[in-house]
Structure 1
Amino acid sequence: MLIAQLSDLHVCPHGMLYHGVVDSNGALVDAIDHLLAMDRRPDLVLLTGDLVDEGRPEEYEYLREILLRLTIPFLLIPGNHDDRENLRTAFSDHRYLPAHGPLHYCVDDHPVRIIGLDSTVPGSHHGHVDPDGLTWLADTLAANTTKPTLLMLHHPPIVSGIDVMDQYRYVDGAGLRAVVERVGNVEIVLCGHVHRSMLTRWADTVLCACPSTVTEIDLRLSAGASPSSHAGPRGCMLHLWNERHGLVSHTSQIGVFDGPYPFV
């Protein structure tokens, strides 16, 4: 099974630019075309938050219009730029999304079980899951402790080293970590939020952050460094599951580059 991950789309109302400078809507079209042109088309696409820029109904309306181009099944979770209720309303036909409360869900229709965890805190930009959400996750994981499982949430529950992003990370991640550590079948934890690739060991598994389809937040590791971003490189993740060999994840850059050349 091949699972693609797109993150931090920041779709704006039709004709508007992200922060007034970047065409995030056109960038999403490019990302979708990138997936559709692959030599092996993904079986499923995961959209890991910040689907739109300000959580407005008209942004979700345009997001849905762009996603008509994506002829691959997809699952989504919210990020800190999303509005939970507007998202729920816009995607009411996505039956895996609960009708009330946080948008936690489990989809068990594939060789890999997919768990979506809503780490948004309405009105804030940091991430967290309340005790009820952690209980839901613990019960969901305990229901099957052998099937390979992929957990996705928007906010990485770790310190990245980028000060400006760590102010808005998933805070107090010890509770979440304890829940994930209880089981041994979480193959990977997928996040967005940081607008760049990032990889670490966490909770006895692997945590991986996905690039944004729009901008890359600059890797500025000095304490107190001013925030900055570039309009690229843009990318997505590809997670290849094989029953015999397990899960392998690849970063795939979106764009036009010289080549192909007849060598490896």
Structure 2
Amino acid sequence: MPGFIQITDTHIVAPGKLVCGHSDTAEALRRAVETINAKLPVLDGIDCVIVTGDLTDHGTPEEYGHFAKIMADLVLPWRAVPGNHDRRDAMRAAFSDRPWMPEAGPIHWLRDFGPFSVIALDTLLEGAHHGELCTEGFAFFDATLADLGDQPVVLATHHPWMHSGIPAMDADNLHNGAALLERLEAHPGPVRMLSGHVHRAMTGQIGRVVCQIAPATCHAVLTDHRPGLDAQMVLEQGGFTVCRWIDAPGSGLVCDVIASGAFLGPFSFQE
């Protein structure tokens, strides 16, 4: 059955640079690409990669060029929406030849997978860490939902609306996400929201909407629930999420977080 891989928060910087002097994000993305390519023969139905924002750390043309060079080794096609570390005009200029890239305005798009569709929304508010969906974004979402009827919908954004419990990250989530979730709640078909931004794998539910946050390919944000503290980086293992539609015993999207890298095994469970 059809599906896709979600990667997020790659935070690519100029060649030879480290994010905050510690995180080799380019090597982390290379490792993710190598892992995806190696696993594809056993991942049935996966036909693209969706990048949910923060492709780069500063949104410069050099960084987008570096990102594109690493992603050129990926055997799957990919598409993306921007995050708060991206810059819309530079991202558009770097990937203007991609069929999913709109010629102007926010970077929204629709991808039909057959039994379900992915609606990707641009939540970048340039100059801010938090996200907001603009008026044009709500109009695009409303029109697209109406066209899809009762088809199952996966909403892909950089900024999540669910809270992570990490106060510094929750302060910078999708500030007008409540209005977006109301629309998802009203959709007659099954709905789900996939996001990034928090650099951790998390799942929650708001009403009938399952909300998921994917891990970053690179560093993680420290799990710290104490208020009044800045977010901190930890160099945990990066990963990506395999999302695949499965028909039995019901019908729905099943998501599997996979760590980047090569590990010992597989081994038989029979001794």
Give the structure-2-normalised TM-score.
Answer: 0.92
- Look up the match of 1:177: 181
What corresponds to 2:82 in structure 1? 78
Residue 146 of structure 1 and its aligned partner are, at CA, apart by 2.3
Q: Name the structure 1 match of 2:19.
A: 18
Structure 1 unmatched ranges of 5 or more = none
Contact 1:178 1:203 in 2 (8 A): no
Q: What is residue 229 of structure 2 aligned with on the other side?
A: 225
How far the C-alpha of 1:186 sits from its partner, in A, is: 4.5
Q: Which of 36, 39, 42 does residue 40 from structure 1 map onto?
A: 42
* Separation in structure 2 between the aligned mates of residue 85 and residue 11 of structure 1, nearest angstrom: 17
Cα distance in 2, alignment partners of residues 92 and 259 from structure 1:
41
Distance between the aligned counterparts of 2:183 and 2:220, measured in 1? 31
Distance 1:200 1:180 in 2: 15
CA deviations on 1:33-79 (whole Å, 9 max, x unpaired) are: 11111142431111010001100001001111111101101111100
Whether the 8 Å contact between 2:3 and 2:113 is mirrored in structure 1 is no
**1:3 counterpart = 2:7:** no
Q: Is the 8 A contact 2:133 2:176 kept in 1?
A: no
In 1, the alpha carbon distance for the partners of 2:207 and 2:14 equals: 39
Report how far residue 203 of structure 1 moved: 4.8
Which position in structure 1 is the counterpart of 2:239? 235
Q: Which moved more, 1:31-40 or 1:106-115?
A: 106-115
Q: Distance in 2 between matches of 1:121 and 1:186?
A: 29
* RMSD, aligned α-carbons: 1.7
Whether the aligned pair in 1 keeps the contact of 2:184 and 2:191 (CA below 8 Å) is no
The C-alpha deviation readout for 1:175-234, integer Å capped at 9, x for no partner, is 111111110324321100000011111252211100000111111012223422211121
What does residue range 145-184 of structure 1 map to in structure 2 within 5 Å? 145-184=149-188
Taking structure 1 as the reference length, what is the TM-score of the superposition? 0.94
Task: Indicate if the aligned counterparts of 1:180 and 1:203 stay in contact, CA closer than 8 A.
Answer: no
Which residue type is aligned with residue 144 of structure 2?
Answer: T
Contact in 2 for aligned 1:127/1:155 (Cα 8 Å): yes
Q: CA deviation at 1:147?
A: 2.1
> What residue is the counterpart of 1:262 in the other structure?
268
Deviation, structure 1 residue 109: 5.6
Distance in 2 (CA, whole Å) between partners of 1:100 and 1:242 is 36
- What is the count of residue pairs matched by the alignment? 264
1:201 equivalenced with 2:205 (yes/no): yes
> Secondary structure at the residue paired with 2:227?
coil
Q: Which moved more, 1:243-252 or 1:30-39?
A: 243-252
Distance 1:257 1:108 in 2: 34
